[in-house]
Structures are given as C-alpha cells and as structure tokens.
Amino acid sequence: MADWDDVIDLTKLSGWLAEQGFGNAPIEGASLLVGGTQNFLLRFQHNDRDVVLRRPPRHLRANSNETMRREARVLAAIADTNVPHAKLIAACGDEAVIGAAFYLMEPVDGFNPTTGLPEFHASDPKVRHRMGMALVEGIAALGQVDYRKVGLEGFGKPDGFLERQVGRWQSQLDSYAAFEAWPGAAGLPGVDRVAKWLNDQVPVTFQPGILHGDYHLANVMYQPHTPELAAIVDWELSTIGDPLLDLGWLMATWPDPNGAGLGAVGTTPWEGFPRIEEMISHYAERSARNLDAISWYGVLACFKLGIILEGTYARACVGKAPKDIGDQLHATTIGLFKRAQTLMA
C-alpha cells in the first residue's frame, strides 16, 4: 500500500474523470511528487495524458478545502494570459469524491532552483542573471492582468487592503501570547518601531490586482534548458490586493550579493544573480505602477513574513513544533526585522 492511498482513492478518481467526460480509462503510473504534512501532488497517466493532482494534506486545516478551490479559480482565470503557470485541466470542489477538494493540472517541464541548478544554469553567471530578471517579469505580468476581466471579482477585498495589513499581522503576533513559554515580542528587534513606521507611511492609493502572496525562488519553476520561468506555483495565498507586495516579498527574501542573509531564499552558485535594486528597476520598466513607496512594501513583507515564521517558534516553545526548526525560524525573523529597519532607513 502506498503512503497516499488513504487520501487519494484512484478508483473514485477514475470514476469522477469518466463522469467529467475524460473517458472511461484506468489511472496508470501514479507516483507521489509531494505529500505528507504539505499538500499532496500526485502524477499519473489517464487516457495517454500526463496529469498532476493537487489536494490538501492528510490532516485538513480549517481552510484547506477552500484554499484548493481558490487556487483552481486563479489558475482558471489566468489560463489565457502570459503569466507562466501550470495549465488547469479540471477542478473538483466536492469534498466527497476523494475526501477533499482537489484539482488537476498539466505537468510542468521544469525545476525549482532552491533544490539545485542544472549544469546549464550552474555554469554561467549570465544565465543566472537572466533568471533573476525572469523572476521579476513573472509578477510584472501577473500585475498587468485585469482581475475583473478574467472573472476574479470578489476574490479578495481590495478596499482598505493596505490600511488593514499592520493591524491584522500585529493581532497575529499578539495571539502568540497564548503559548505561555514564548518569550514575547520583546525579543524581536524594533517590532513596535516597524509597525508604527508602516502605519505612518501607508501609500495613499494603489492599483488593485492579483497578488500571489508568497513570491520567491522556492515558488517558481524554471525551464530546463533556458533561464526563463516555466511556471509560478503554490497559489494558496493569492488574493486581490496590491501586487507591489509581491515585489516587496522579493525584497524581503532576496539574498545579499554574496548569496546569504537571514530570511533569504536562494540557491548555489549565487554569482551572477542581479541585485534587488536592479530587479526593482526592471519591474518599473514593465509596470505602470508607481514605485515611489516601494521600500514600504519591502518593510511590510519583512514584517508579515517575520510574524508568520515567529508563530512556529512560539509553538516550538511549548513543544508543538520541533525546537531546532523553531529556533532557526526565530533567527530568521530577527533577520527580517533587521532588514525591515535597513529598508526604512
């Protein structure tokens, strides 16, 4: 018995595929790509077609099924755009079929750079420089999509999006006090100063658009033999908001010129990848959005991501997460708050 049989019943899935008009054929060659505590990705063949199924983890969270439905809705919406993504085949919001909502997509011919670079990419700094530029172009293209025209009206709440960010994440941080062994926010350098600065500097206006929500090198795939993006993946935090926050997320997570930095999401070798300032300029050349306040978005991304990671540390303090991982993420949070104050300056 495979370690995913209890969460993906192939007999039921095959029956659903037949009902949807994909033909009455067996599912063959099923193999797990990702699964366990994360969302499951199962690749298989059906009617001579390669398919990847995505469903929530075995132990569902409160919003797991709705997250799957939202991801599928985004992929359907951007189907005819120039945003690189895995092509949606079909979606099932009915949890009764295999025990959770799921969707099917075409496999992506590509690789994630954080797991290692192929020889073509690893051997040429110019290729890696282009990889950084292509990364920026992915969110520039996403930000140009008219969310209303592609059917995403009501997918998020753009009104007041920026104004409510600090309060929402400050409340998240305050909630960690429920973990009594957590030492508190006092251990995070400048957290109150960062929050005040963000509230005082909120951009007056913005142009709403599709926001990926967690944009960095770990959430994209590159083409095997070129430096271009093959797909943006993991759309679970997508919403309608200010797309400049995706650029801010790159500012928060992009490694230093030497490839290091707490909170950084990178790869090796790092030589050749562009500096973040160059990437911001590249975005500005491809977007009509006003980037005068771009530092604010970088600071907000550091603030938000740091608070998210600190939650694991708070749980680790009471034994609800591994201590070594909690300590590591706490150190990353400290680095993010330091980076936030550098950006504020």
Q: What is the pLDDT of residues 39-51, one digit of tens each?
A: 999 999 999 999 9
Edge-to-edge, what's the strand order for the sheet holding 49-55? Answer: 27-34, 40-46, 49-55, 102-105, 88-92
How does pLDDT run across 166-195, given as a tens digit for each residue?
999 999 999 999 999 999 998 899 999 999
How does pLDDT run across 229-270, given as a tens digit for each residue?
999 999 999 999 999 999 999 999 999 998 888 778 999 999
How does pLDDT run across 282-307, given as a tens digit for each residue?
999 999 999 999 999 999 999 999 99
C-alpha pair distances (Å), 8 with each of 21, 50, 137 = 20, 17, 36
Long-range contacts made by residues 277-284, C-beta under 8 angstroms, separation at least 24?
278/132, 279/132, 279/133, 279/135, 279/136, 279/250, 279/254, 280/247, 280/251, 282/133, 282/136, 282/137, 283/136, 283/139, 283/140, 283/247
Per-residue confidence at 90, pLDDT binned at 50, 70, 90? very high
Main-chain dihedrals φ then ψ at residue 110, nearest 5 degrees: -175, -175
Q: Examine the pLDDT at 37 and tell me if it is beyond 90.
A: no
**Residue 7, helix vs strand vs coil:** coil
Helical axes 165-175 vs 191-200, angle rounded to 10°:
160
Average pLDDT, integer, range 203-207: 94
In terms of Cα–Cα distance, which of 222, 237, 227, 209 is closest to 308?
Answer: 237
> In this predicted structure, what is the pLDDT of residue 2?
67
> In this predicted structure, what is the pLDDT of residue 36?
63
Task: List helix spans (H) across 145-225.
Answer: 165-175, 191-200
User: What is the distance of C-alpha 330 from the center of its chain?
Assistant: 20
Per-residue confidence at 6, pLDDT binned at 50, 70, 90? confident
The structure tokens listed for 274 are 């562009």
Count CB atoms within 10 A of the CB of residue 24.
Answer: 10
**Structural domain boundaries of the chain?**
10-105, 113-344
How does pLDDT run across 137-171, given as a tens digit for each residue?
999 999 999 999 999 999 999 999 999 999 999 99
Q: Which residues pair with 55 in a beta bridge?
A: 40
Q: Examine the pLDDT at 1 and tell me if it is beyond 70.
A: no
What's the whole-model pTM score?
Answer: 0.94
Per-residue confidence at 35, pLDDT binned at 50, 70, 90? confident
Q: Which fold has domain 113-344?
A: Aminoglycoside 3'-phosphotransferase; Chain: A, domain 2 (3.90.1200)
Average pLDDT, integer, range 307-329: 94
Structural domain 10-105, CATH architecture: 2-Layer Sandwich (3.30)
